[in-house]
Amino acid sequence: MVFTRLLEEKLNEIAEVKVLVLYIAKDYSEGGVERSKLSDIWFLRSFHQVWIFNLLPMRSSGGRLSYGEISTLRRYVEEGHVLVAGYNTFVHSWS
């Protein structure tokens, strides 16, 4: 987690780049608050791209994306934004 925060800080020092790392694991104390941002279309619209790496329900506490999160992400993509989702996130959440 420390490495990710350092990476976020360094990338934000670059002009015209805004990086925000959300910790959406259920076992992280702020995970619920940060995860709720995936259902907030206004929050998502402030970014050109959203990347969701592999959420593995059997190996992590991130779990599957909820129907509400999927619906919001679908709308985000339909508006012309980019969503990059890890293979396992896609398979476990959309199948």
- Domain map (residue ranges) of the chain: 21-94
Residue 18 confidence (pLDDT) above 80? no
- For the chain, list the strands marked E by DSSP: 49-52, 82-85
Give pTM, 2 decimals: 0.71
Phi/psi class of residue 80: alpha, beta or left (left: φ > 0; alpha: ψ in -120 to 50)?
left
Q: Could you read off the pLDDT of 32-82 as tens digits, one per residue?
A: 788 888 899 999 999 888 888 766 555 556 667 888 988 999 999 999 999
What pLDDT is attached to residue 8?
Answer: 77
